[in-house]
Chain A
Amino acid sequence: MMDRSYKDLLKMKRLPHTWCPGCGIGAVLKNVAMALRELGWNYQNTVAVSGIGCSGRMAGYMNLDAVHTPHGRALTAAETIKTVRSDLNVIVLSGDGDLASIGGNHLLHTTRRNPDITVFCNDNEIYGLTGGQAGPTTPKGTKTITSPQGEPYQSLRLGRILTTQAPYFYARTTVFHLNHFKTCIQEALLWKGFSFIDIISDCIELNGRRLGFKTAHQMFKWFDERFHIVEGVRAHLNEDELGIAKAEVEEVPKAIEKVEVKPQVQIEELRLFTAEELQHFDGTNGRPIYVAYKGKIYDLSASPLFQGEKRMRCHIGGKDLTKDIDIAPHGEDSVFKFPVVGKLQVTTSLFE
């Protein structure tokens, strides 16, 4: 028989809940309750904090002292409660719009201060409660009621934001991969410090149907196609990976490798380019990118910054960049890394 003691953690009298049939939040709530139960966390030692939105209603269903904050302020409230009452376990139950958009500033600064709280982010990539507007995590190109032509901007990559400063704990899972989800919750709750679980969840009514899904189950299958689980602990997760990324201490930055200054190539042996010839090699139509620096021509095709682009910020391929590089913040070392392919024919101009 299945253990149903987790129901002690839920206000069963308040059911049925307010969420739509097929919503992923129910799965989040139930699994959090099960994990808390297993750890023996209850109303005497645990406080739930939530923000605004569908997922913000989760705290109200927990059989704990719960604080329901203004929109976006859940992290600040949770951190403060932990500061004042370090004997309490504090969990945050909220959503992507609340935590990453209106609460974005608090997300940056609370992680910096690293309080010992656990955040469950029901990431359904949409503003559900208000009717299906595009959110910060809505993937680029997704049509919503506020992005009828498709969301024009790149979505916010929570995984990257939350793993910039160690110590950090960032887990990504979905409401479909339940076993993986449970493992993540357990680990996050036991992590000393700020832990964040990004739970990819479905909003079938206000997002899924517009995307062409008929049932929540179809969305779950879509999660299965989009994501795959990676085993072990990683430093970072790719956008299609489910798993745990954590680091206890800051990685010591590697010493800057000394750039080997290449032996002086006899400048006379090199091919001579005129300014017009050089201009031809600007990276367009598959041609290499050559730039001139102090009389020498360098092949910058391998530069990751120029990749597929004719222009890298203010530097343009096919030009003499001597003056540009002299005033640039990076210095000339960044050019010396690249192979020398020729020299520039010096033309004296009357107007120099």
Chain B
Amino acid sequence: MKRLISGNEAIFQGTIRAGASYFAGYPITPSSEILQQASLHAEENPEFRFLQAEDEIAAAVATISASLAGAKAFTATSGPGFSLMQEALGWGHAVEAPCVFVNSMRVGPSTGMPTQPAQADLLQVKGGSAGDYYPIAFYPNSVEECFRLTVTAFNAAEESLSPVILLSDAFLSHLYEIVDLEGMEVKVIPRKREPLGRGQRLFTGIAHDKMGNTKTSHPEIYQEWLWELKDRHHQAAGQYPLYEYLPHQGSNILLIAFGITSRIISPLKKKFSIFRPIRIFPILEKELKEVTQSYRHIIVIEGNDGQYAGWVEWAIGRKVLRVPCLGGGFKLQWIRNQIEERLKGDGG
């Protein structure tokens, strides 16, 4: 049945389709609708558990604990709340708990502009917690994709045994589009790990061996564990090399944009080639290299001051031009002017 629904609602419906049975969250604009939807759903379905926690720290810890207890669990927040969740995210990677964290980005730092969209949490997603870990993150740009990628995020979480991040932004979360969710076919991967209460395992954030014995001064055990984790994450992510590439014959300029920005610049496809990464982390290294090599200029347009552009430069080994859309200012005409200015400055 076709319905007019918002990005946030599509994300919530996606979690239900993926088999989620636990939600913990804390109110924050622009992700609060997911919290409200979850509370309504819990009222009608007693097997679905819901917690409005005292803060995002508790919400994140509860999400990971629920996952260990055997539930498919998720939480939703925005930038400032996501900062509070970093501790639990690191723990989630250490105890290898599959779950999904939705981060609907708004302008930061700190409280910033609560109702304005931004894309400035990328570095926070990549490495906001202590130590080395290898997060997987997806970023849709339409309401339909919000639904599909939520299911994908849950699947990637089950395969990588880690918290997977689904990015959104204030614009996309509140974007209404007509979609037929029931008619969409998606693949769902079930939980493999035995839930709690079956053995004598230890799920700990302390460095440990395979038996769960704490090993705090054994570099070789730690290295073995970390390489295995990295390998598993890249294998899981490798199954979802998601991107959208719109080549334009005769253009030697490639625009890179994702999420809300890619929607705003879509009219420019008549003039430029456009590449839209959907899997933000791990970086689409191979794909970026292949796509970018035939272009003279690469321009990254994003809602932050060059967070993704830095990763693109790292991946392809050459400089790119940057158009930062800051403070919620996403205007097509302004972006067009900026592109022209950048090209003039670069001898275009």
Contacts and interface: CB of A to CB of B under 8 A. Distances in A.
Interface of A: 11, 14, 43-47, 57, 59-60, 63-70, 73, 76-81, 83-85, 87-88, 105-106, 108-109
A197 B26 CA distance: 29
A14 to B, nearest CB: 7
A348 to B, nearest CB: 55
B202 interface: yes
Interface string B87-103: 11011000100000000
A81 B49 CA distance: 11
B51 interface: yes
Contact of B196 (A14, A65, A106, A109): A65
B88 A59 contact: no
Chain A CB within 10 A, most for which of B58, B90, B212: B58
Contacts of A44: 197-198
A70 B89 CA distance: 10
Interface string B113-127: 000000000000000
Chain B at the A interface: SS class: mixed
B204 interface: yes
Given A67-B65, A68-B202, A83 B197 contact: no
Contacts of B201: 65-66
Contacts of A106: 54, 58
B283 interface: no
Contacts of A47: 196-197
Given A60-B214, A77-B61, A80-B65, A70 B205 contact: yes
Contacts of B212: 60
B88 A80 contact: no
A84 B54 contact: no
B68 interface: yes
Nearest to A45: B197
A85 B58 CA distance: 18
Given A65-B200, A80-B65, 15 more contacts: A43-B200, A44-B198, A46-B197, A57-B214, A60-B212, A65-B199, A66-B204, A67-B204, A77-B61, A80-B51, A80-B66, A84-B21, A85-B69, A85-B70, A85-B195
Given A45-B197, A47-B197, A68 B65 contact: no
A85 B69 CA distance: 7
B333 to A, nearest CB: 47
A68 B70 contact: no
Nearest to A74: B61
B248 to A, nearest CB: 49
Interface string B321-341: 000000000000000000000
Contacts of A14: 213
B69 to A, nearest CB: 4
Contact of B204 (A11, A45, A68, A109): A68
7 contacts: A60-B204, A77-B61, A77-B65, A80-B24, A80-B51, A81-B69, A84-B66
A64 B202 CA distance: 8
A84 B71 contact: yes
Given A44-B197, A60-B204, A67-B68, A83 B51 contact: yes
B91 A76 contact: no
B66 A83 contact: yes
Contacts of A57: 214
A214 to B, nearest CB: 31
Nearest to A75: B58
Give 8 closest A-B pairs by Cβ, nearest first: A68-B204, A84-B69, A109-B54, A80-B65, A77-B65, A80-B62, A73-B61, A76-B58
B196 A85 contact: yes
Contacts of B64: 77
Contact of A64 (B66, B87, B200, B206): B200
B55 interface: yes
B65 A70 contact: no
Contacts of B198: 43-44, 65
A65 B49 contact: no
Given A66-B203, A67-B203, A76-B53, A81 B196 contact: yes
Interface in B287-343: none
A303 B278 CA distance: 70
Contacts of B199: 43, 65
B69 A109 contact: no
A117 to B, nearest CB: 12
B49 A83 contact: yes
Nearest to B213: A14
Nearest to A87: B197
Contacts of A64: 200
A84 B87 contact: no
Given A68-B206, A70-B205, A81 B200 contact: no
A67 B24 CA distance: 18
Interface in B155-207: 195-206
